[in-house]
């Protein structure tokens, strides 16, 4: 396996970062997860734009020119003979002396990893997954903006840990007002009375790129859309629920805690959006 570290590709066994790297010490850094279909990367420009946004929000200078990213990612695929693949870009503040001041780190650390895509079991898409509403609240937006894809992922990890202990596939996180935000690594959408609903960015969510594509397809298909604030009760009384992220695409939900969702899995709107996603996929590959 070849991994890009800073300015060159190295074998996995040689891929190392310093114990003084501030990404390791403090979670000071950002990342993006991308997916390739038959060697073509899904929504590449959007992912790179979000990476730049995250960097800007933490005052981190992008260490690689915008025009160089596509070639580096393509070389990652080719060196590892990958077709359907998972790609992860990690940029930390870099190596520096102990301390919180970002100026202690003269150069960011860049890592690009490419792996064969590990698809979710087909049975999950047929039967749906179970969720639980966890007690771990989403970070206050005024404390840590969800618009930053931060290496500091402990908030989500604690929520995932609680969901796993409850025997659920994932956990639904609420904000400080008790409104639904998202799951630990995915956005949540639901259908009620033929309207597609999803928590708004103002609720404290990361505006997922697959979420964006699903909303675009729904709009083109003339399906009413509402982005707002929702309670867990509204979610539990939905006609259909599904999750979205880069690797799972569109995943139906069968249950939240003890509440069964809908009459069939996946529901008609979920199935329609899954079909539209596959049909439109070539539009979003670069």
End-to-end Cα distance, the chain = 24
The burial class, CB within 10 Å (0-12 / 13-18 / 19+), for 112 is: buried
Which residues neighbour 52 within 8 Å (Cβ) at sequence distance 6 or greater? Answer: 62, 66
Q: Which residues are catalytic?
A: 149
- For residue 234, count other CB atoms closer than 10 A to its CB: 15
Tokens of 185: 């690594």
Instruction: Kindly give the residue spans of alpha helices, DSSP state H, lying in the chain.
Output: 22-26, 44-57, 69-79, 122-127, 154-165, 209-220, 232-236, 268-280
């Amino acid at each position: 396996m070849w991994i890009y570290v800073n300015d060159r590709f190295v074998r996995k066994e040689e891929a190392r970062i310093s114990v003084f790297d501030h990404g390791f010490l403090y979670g000071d850094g950002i990342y993006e997860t991308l997916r390739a279909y038959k060697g073509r990367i899904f929504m590449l420009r959007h992912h790179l734009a979000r990476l730049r946004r995250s960097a800007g929000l933490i005052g981190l200078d992008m260490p690689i020119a915008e025009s160089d990213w596509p070639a580096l990612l393509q070389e990652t695929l080719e060196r590892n003979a990958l077709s359907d693949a998972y790609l992860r870009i990690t940029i930390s503040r870099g190596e520096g002396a102990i301390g919180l001041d970002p100026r202690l780190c003269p150069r960011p650390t860049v890592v690009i990893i490419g792996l064969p895509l590990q698809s979710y079991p087909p049975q999950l898409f047929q039967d749906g997954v179970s969720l639980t509403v966890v007690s771990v609240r989403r970070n206050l937006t005024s404390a840590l903006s969800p618009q930053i894809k931060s290496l500091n992922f402990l908030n989500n990890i604690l929520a995932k840990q609680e969901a796993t202990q409850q025997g659920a596939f994932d956990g639904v996180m609420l904000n400080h007002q008790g409104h639904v935000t998202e799951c630990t690594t995915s956005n949540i959408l639901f259908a009620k009375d033929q309207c597609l609903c999803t928590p708004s960015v103002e609720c404290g969510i990361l505006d997922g790129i697959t979420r964006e594509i699903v909303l675009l397809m729904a709009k083109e298909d003339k399906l009413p859309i509402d982005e707002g604030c929702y309670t867990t009760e509204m979610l539990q009384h939905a006609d259909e629920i599904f999750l979205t992220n880069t690797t799972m695409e569109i995943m139906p939900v069968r249950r939240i805690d003890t509440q069964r969702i809908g009459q069939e899995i996946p529901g008609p709107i979920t199935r329609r959006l899954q079909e539209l996603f596959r049909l439109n996929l070539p539009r979003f590959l670069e």
